[in-house]
Each structure stands twice: as structure tokens, then as C-alpha cells.
Amino acid sequence: MAEVQTHTESGEMTQRFIEFVMMQAQHAAFALGQIPHPQTGKGEVHLEMAKVLIDQLVMIRSKTRGNLSNEEIGILNNAISSLQMGYVEATKAASSQDASGATTTSGEASEPGKPGEITAEEGTEEKKKFSKSYGA
């Protein structure tokens, strides 16, 4: 038989849920480059990791629908919407940097000698364009 939670236990569970959501959101913000890396002091963008973390929060919202307090659903919705907007901005920034050849989609700096890239040192007269496809 299920036990009825007391108000204190319910309050603790609410606090733990909010902490969990905020931790996941913080990890996603880190992956979006919104939080600087502690060693380098620079934001590093990892779009695939950010997408996984955001998708997990969306899944939690879906799986807990009808079981959350107004406070819990409000925090979860705010976290998801702000992270989704950050993801769109990071994706746009990455694609504009890719077009200029500055960085790759994962936010790593382009390095000469990587497969599929042509450097100025190769001295070809024709400019060749290469594109990478990671599937749809």
C-alpha cells in the first residue's frame, strides 16, 4: 500500500526536483558556452551535448506531466525555453563561423591538416570548397 507523503517530505522532494532541473540546465548552459570553462575561462560550445541535455529536460517534462506543482513546472518550462533559445543562438553562431572557416560546429578551432580542409600553405590556385555531412 502506498504511503501518503507528509508536507515536509513533499517540500523536500520539490526542492530536490528543482535542484535536479537546475543542475541539468547548468550543464546544458555549459555545453552551450554560456558558462566559461574553469581552466580556460572561455566558453566552449558542444552542440550535440547541449541538445541531449535539453532533450532530457523535455522528456522529464513530458513524463511528469500532471504530477508537478505550479512552481516545479514553471521552473522546468523556464529552463527549457531559455536553453532552447540559447541553442538556436549557438547554432546560428556556429554556422556563421563555419561559413567563415573560423570554427567547427562543435566549437573547436579549425586546425590545419584536419581531413577535408585546405590550408593556405598548400598553394593551390583554385579555391576548393569542402563540406562535411553528418547525416540528417
Threshold 0.85, pTM exceeds: no
Phi, psi at 45, each rounded to 5°? -95, 125
Are 82 and 90 in contact by the 8 Å Cβ rule? The answer is no
What is the DSSP code (8-state) at residue 41? -
Residue pLDDT, tens place only, 27-73 = 999 999 999 988 888 888 999 999 999 999 999 999 999 999 999 99
Residue 113: pLDDT over 60: no
Distance CA 94, CA 67 (A): 38
Report residue 53 as a C-alpha cell. 541535455
For residue 93, the tally of other CB atoms under 10 A from its CB is 16
The CATH number assigned to the domain with range 7-110 reads 1.20.58
Domain ranges within the chain, ordered by starting residue? 7-110
